[in-house]
Amino acid sequence: MKLRILPQIDELKMLYFEKSMSLQQIADMYGVTRGAVYLQFRYHGIQTRARGYDPVNKEYPDWNNHVTQQILTGSLLDGGKLVVLGSNKPTIQFMETKPLRKKEYVEWKNEYLKFHYFEQEGRKACLTSRWHPEIDVLFEKYYFPNGMKNIKSLLTNLGEIGIFVWYMDSGELDISDENDPRIALNVDNFSTEDHLLARRWFEERIGQLPEAPATRTKGRNFKRLIFSGEGAVSLLDIITKASEELGFPLVVPRK
């Protein structure tokens, strides 16, 4: 068999991910060994599928599904992140870590995301994705070139399901006073400018500018958005509606 030079990595990724060709099929196509193709992917930091992968029943998200997109958007507003891996030809992957008590919720997310779920140290429920062209699209859409999240873009594309996910990720519901319910959303990783942007976004959405107290716990400053009274009721209506639509229950409120 006459050996041929492999194409650029972008073409290899297109064949592998978009056309679901195997490493061996690509190798046969270009007259090289499977190992040569594998080394190209490894050199560029791209994770390959395990042998025996079935391209007909491939485990990738339905990227066009509204729920999938909103789960990703809501997750990125909390602790989910897109991470650039590798220095020569970097690739981008989604990563998220939650306390193990949220295992059922993380597994529910993954029914849509179809990422890799694993438990770390018996204390954390984790998700990581393989590289996929749509991950690159998300990064361009929701991140600045310096690697910081574009909160304005995330909020612009945030819907009711995304709000539900943001709340479920780390929010709190306090109904100890039935006449004054309170909901807290985490904005710990927001800049001061993004913090204000989020407050104004919710003011337009539910008609209340949430409070923004800074609290200090274990030597760290934590930032949250606090909704109370009618604002909390309006936000709870949104979250409850999404919960019913998705068939996943709300967390038990703190009393």
Render 148-215 in DSSP notation, one character per residue: -B-HHHHHHT--HHHHHHHHHHH-EEE-SSTTS-EEEEE-TT--HHHHHHHHHHHHHHHS---B--EE
- pLDDT of amino acid 50: 56
Check pLDDT > 80 for residue 64.
yes
Q: What is the pTM of this model?
A: 0.77
| Length reported for the chain | 255
Residue with tokens 């791209």: 46
- Lookup: tokens for 16: 């592998």
Q: What is the pLDDT of residue 1?
A: 38
Is residue 51 pLDDT above 60, yes or no? Answer: no
Nearest Cα to Cα of residue 232 among 206, 194, 200, 198: 206
- 65 Cβ contact list (under 8 Å, min separation 6): 112
pLDDT for 3 equals 42
pLDDT reported for residue 38: 84
The reported pLDDT for the residue numbered 134 is 87
Reported as a single tens digit per residue, the pLDDT across 183-235 is 999 998 898 899 999 999 999 999 999 998 876 655 555 589 999 999 999 99
- Please, which pLDDT band fits residue 2 given cuts at 50, 70 and 90? very low
**Residue 226's pLDDT is what?**
95
Residue 58, pLDDT score: 55
d(CA 31, CA 6) in angstroms, rounded, equals: 9
Position 54 confidence tier, pLDDT thresholds 50, 70, 90 = very low
Q: How confident is the model at residue 96 (pLDDT cuts 50, 70, 90)?
A: very high
Report the range of poorest mean pLDDT among 37-46, 136-145, 176-185: 37-46
Q: Beta-carbon neighbour count of residue 109 at 10 Å?
A: 26
Judge contact between 170 and 186, C-beta under 8 A: yes
Q: Residue 120: count other Cβ atoms within 10 Å of its Cβ.
A: 10
The residue behind tokens 């873009």 is 153
* DSSP code, position 101: G
Q: Is the pLDDT of residue 49 over 70?
A: no
pLDDT at 77: 96
pLDDT, position 239: 95
Characterize 127-166 residue by residue with b for buried, 16 or more Cβ atoms within 10 angstroms of its Cβ, and e for exposed. bebbbbebbeebbeebbeeeeebbbebbbeebebbbbbbb
Q: What is the CATH number of domain 66-246?
A: 3.10.28.10
The alpha carbon of 236 is separated from its chain's Cα centroid by a whole number of angstroms, namely 22
